[in-house]
Amino acid sequence: MGPLAARIDALLTALHGWPVYLVIGLLAFGEAAVFVGLVLPGETSLVLGGVLAAQGNLHLPVLIAVGIVAAVSGDQVGYAVGRWMGPGMRRSRLGRRIGTTHWDHAEDVLARRGAVAVFAGRFVAVLRALVPGLAGAGRMPYRHFLPANAAGGTLWVLAATGVGYLAGQSWRHAEALLGVWGATGAAVAVIGVAVAAVRRRRRQA
């Protein structure tokens, strides 16, 4: 786990109730909105949310619903920003910081794949952040963008939270096994110490 992911994990663990859903939703929203997905770990927060759900700290259906609404809404904002700014978004201060290589790659994928790129790009960090804005700037018809966006966002949230949930369940099983092994080891150690003490007393006698 990287430093930023560790901070998100610490933040989510420290919170309780609806603030946890709020933070996860904001991160999932921000990853696709206004290009900030290059720095905000929305996917990481969903995975960690899945782990918390497996541990009983969150309700998985609520987490999934929040994630889907946030992810799809974030893409809508990105699309709207692209429509508003047009090609000039590449020349904005934030656009220049993203770098020509990322822009060119995302534009190439979008030009070749169209709506498929909107769907598939959801699973690639750089494309997830840039493709919605480029789709808006390129005047992709909204009737093509929305279904691809909704399908990709939904599947992405289900995959991320599912991975976290399964990992959390596995960790709980591992903890249970470790608990059994630890108890068994402690019992064996106690018995061993008792047997050694009895033998030593017999020798002394």
| Residue ranges per structural domain of the chain | 3-170
pLDDT at 17: 81
In whole angstroms, give the CA distance from residue 29 to residue 157: 11
Residues of the chain falling short of pLDDT 50: 174-175, 177-190, 193
Q: Cα 155 vs. chain centroid, distance in angstroms? A: 12
- How far apart are the C-alpha atoms of 67 and 42, rounded to whole Å? 9
pLDDT score at 138: 84
CA 37, CA 123: separation in Å to the nearest integer? 12
d(CA 109, CA 128): 12
Angstrom distances, CA of residue 90 to CA of 100, 156, 159: 8, 26, 31
Distance CA 48, CA 79 (A): 27
**Which pLDDT score, from 0 to 100, does residue 59 have?**
94
Looking at residue 202, what is its pLDDT? 63
> Residue 25: exposed, middle, or buried by beta-carbon count in 10 A (0-12, 13-18, 19+)?
buried
pLDDT of residue 62: 95
What pLDDT shows up at residue 71? 92
Structural contact between residues 18 and 32, judged by C-beta atoms closer than 8 angstroms: no
End-to-end CA distance of the chain: 58
Give me the helix-helix angle, 60-85 and 125-137, nearest 10°. Answer: 40
The whole-number pLDDT of residue 3 equals: 63
